[in-house]
Structure 1
Amino acid sequence: MTFDALLFLSFGGPEGPEDVRPFLENVTRGRGVPPERLDEVAEHYHHFGGVSPINRLNREIMAGLRDQLRAESRDLPVYWGNRNWYPMIEETVARMAEDGVRRALVFPTSAWGGYSGCKQYHEDIARAREAVGERAPELVKLRQFFDHPLFVAANADAVRRACAQVGDPRARLVFTAHSVPVRADELPGPDGRPEWYSRQVAECARLVAEEAGVEAYDVVWQSRSGPPQVPWLEPDVVDHVERLHAEGVGSVVVSPIGFVSDHLEVVWDLDNEAAEKAAELGMGFARAGTAGDDPRFAKMIVELVSEHVDEVRPRKLSLLPAAGCSTNGEACAPGCCSRTA
């Protein structure tokens, strides 16, 4: 099939102190997050000068992606749009229309199903096309990639390096991903079974641990942001570090497989809060890197493109479906990635 461009679609992040509060209001709009929680999270950003690393990291990933596309003789310009901060997807799709793009693939920086990781990106695509109107290009979202062999291999190598860094052969490996409301995770996936998002995370953790040669590991959660009365996936990573210490574990290696780059939630929740808790308890601690800065990540994106352009068979390491491919922001498979109240 013929495509004119590739849209790199991400979450977005503030690039100065004045951006922080408007950005957080965009992120939490309609979710009932109390103002004091926004104030608390804003302090995390201000701790780093009001700048999230995510936009810089996305620019670096896109530079590698453009290099990989050229290396494989693919003439696809790469555009960049965000959900919550500039460059906003609506502006980017308008520019694509002005440039004459009629049909483009969309790569979202999320490996997962679920509302925030998949369905909301479909909504972003539909909203942007509606804003642009009849001139809007057709947009085809690429699939979820939690079990792609290149994503697994990049994370596994990062785990190996972190294990070597901590220097304790009995260190416990702990995988983390962004927590979501329990009610959202209880919805059925495209295979009709519930816990679609957490099952994908658990499967990715299994694949990465197996590739890294690690038998014992845990899957925990981080970065919850909803109202306190709403149950979210647990345990929290900091609470889990305390539990491991109580069980006599001397060192911990944390792998943030739920994230593709070292943006602020990774840096704050793991490099600050979890690391500080481990130090307070006298535990060894190392944090594995994320897959985004590994050259194989850009190569994986080009492989996902090839599935559409050249009708190449998808490379997957699990039997779980990799839903999410649709056009123009249309819904995923029935029952997949629905939103809950």
Structure 2
Amino acid sequence: MSYDAILLASFGGPEGQDDVIPFLKNVTRGKGIPEERLEEVAVHYRHHGGVSPINEQNRELKVALEAELARQGIDLPVYWGNRNWNPYFTDALRELHAEGKRDVLAIVTSAYTSYSGVGQYREDFERALDDTGLRDEVRISRIREYFDHPGFVTPFVEGVRSALDEVADAANTHVMFVTHSIPTAAATESGPEFGEGGAYEAQHRAVAGAILDAVGTDVPHSLVYQSRSGSPATPWLEPDINDAISELTGVDSLVIVPIGFVSDHMEVLWDLDNEAMESATTNGMRAVRVPTPGIHPAYVSGLVDLLLERINDVPASERPHESPLGPWPDHPSQGAALESAMTKTQ
């Protein structure tokens, strides 16, 4: 495959108080979420001046990717587009098309298999190709899910090791691996062959195991969830991290590992650094939260490695992975191949 551009594809976030409610309406469009519920969530953003950290984090990641690509002598420009806020995917496609780019390889800032991390991005790309009228001229491919790629796992290994050193004087420590909760039905659909939690839960458990194996510890641990939303009548993956903290007994120190997230965006800052930390304090525990990968050098170089394995069509047997579940397979491309578009114009 020949590619001439990289697309950093992410969730997006508001960048001012006036953006908060319009952004949340974009996120929840078609889900029937009442206005009062949006106002409840808006408090999290307003606490930070109406600015989500995710856009600035993506700007930093884009710069880091450009630097790593240049260091490795790879001449591919990086564009950036979001699902829910400026710059949108349509903006990115129009920009790269205007600059003569036609074959795009996307990095999605979601490491796991789920509807929101895979299916919804695929729908977003389809919609953007249609809305821009570029379906016959631009092809979008994406790198595989990288939940157990060394570049994603290494920052967490370092973080857990550091956190355990920090609480080494504690008599009893528990490690909580945490990710975003999703509806149980959606989790199952992500890979029914893995059981009720689907591939989504199986991948997180595999990553947690890989991290602990690399650290070389048998400290008690669990997988918990955060940021549940939607109807209370709809089953979601459990337990919630705050409920799980309150049920721990005989624990002096808690290490919180946000393995479901690639950067310290709003749900990490609010749900973990605010609510979960408060729960730990209330229950008499000392808590340390491990950093997300962000722009850790291993993560950035790992993303470039993932780009290269797709560009060079590296066989699955040669693709690195830190768990028995990997490497996850590639996704099919979307839009027209450049050759097809050229044929139509002749």
**Fold in common (TM above 0.5):** yes
Deviation string 1:229-262 (CA, Å, 9 cap, x unpaired) is 2111110011111111xx2111101000100000
**Superposition pairs for residues 1-341 of structure 1, below 5 Å?**
1-134=1-134, 136-167=137-168, 168=170, 170-187=172-189, 189=191, 195-215=198-218, 216-244=220-248, 247-312=249-314, 313-320=318-325, 322-323=328-329, 325-328=331-334
Shift in alpha-carbon separation, 1:47–1:193, aligned structure 2, 3 A = same
- Paired position in structure 2 for 1:337: none
- Work out whether residues 45 and 266 of structure 2, in 8 Å CA contact, stay in contact via their aligned partners in 1: yes
Deviation string 1:206-232 (CA, Å, 9 cap, x unpaired) is 111211223221100001121222111
- Work out whether residues 139 and 335 of structure 2, in 8 Å CA contact, stay in contact via their aligned partners in 1: no
1:290 aligns to what SS in structure 2? coil
Distance in 2 of aligned mates of 1:299 and 1:163: 26
Shift in alpha-carbon separation, 1:192–1:234, aligned structure 2, 3 A = closer
Shift in alpha-carbon separation, 1:174–1:329, aligned structure 2, 3 A = farther
- What is the CA distance between 1:307 and its match in structure 2? 0.9
- Work out whether residues 181 and 233 of structure 1, in 8 Å CA contact, stay in contact via their aligned partners in 2: yes
Provide runs of 4+ in structure 1 moved above 3 Å.
190-194
- What is the CA distance between 1:329 and its match in structure 2? 7.0
- Name the aligned partner's letter for residue 319 of structure 1: P
- What is the CA distance between 1:317 and its match in structure 2? 2.2
Higher mean Cα deviation, 179-188 or 233-242? 179-188
Deviation string 1:100-144 (CA, Å, 9 cap, x unpaired) is 101010000000111001111111111111112246411101100
Higher mean Cα deviation, 251-260 or 131-140? 131-140
Shift in alpha-carbon separation, 1:224–1:125, aligned structure 2, 3 A = same
Distance in 2 of aligned mates of 1:329 and 1:204: 33
Shift in alpha-carbon separation, 1:113–1:266, aligned structure 2, 3 A = same
- Work out whether residues 45 and 264 of structure 1, in 8 Å CA contact, stay in contact via their aligned partners in 2: yes
- Work out whether residues 143 and 325 of structure 1, in 8 Å CA contact, stay in contact via their aligned partners in 2: yes
Distance in 2 of aligned mates of 1:191 and 1:162: 35
- Work out whether residues 154 and 297 of structure 1, in 8 Å CA contact, stay in contact via their aligned partners in 2: yes
- What is the CA distance between 1:193 and its match in structure 2? 5.4
Gaps of 5+ in 1: 331-341
Distance in 1 of aligned mates of 2:194 and 2:185: 16
Q: Which has the larger radius of gyration?
A: 2
In angstroms, what is the RMSD of aligned CA positions? 1.7
Distance in 2 of aligned mates of 1:171 and 1:329: 50
- Work out whether residues 34 and 227 of structure 1, in 8 Å CA contact, stay in contact via their aligned partners in 2: no
Distance in 1 of aligned mates of 2:179 and 2:335: 25
2:104 aligns to what SS in structure 1? strand
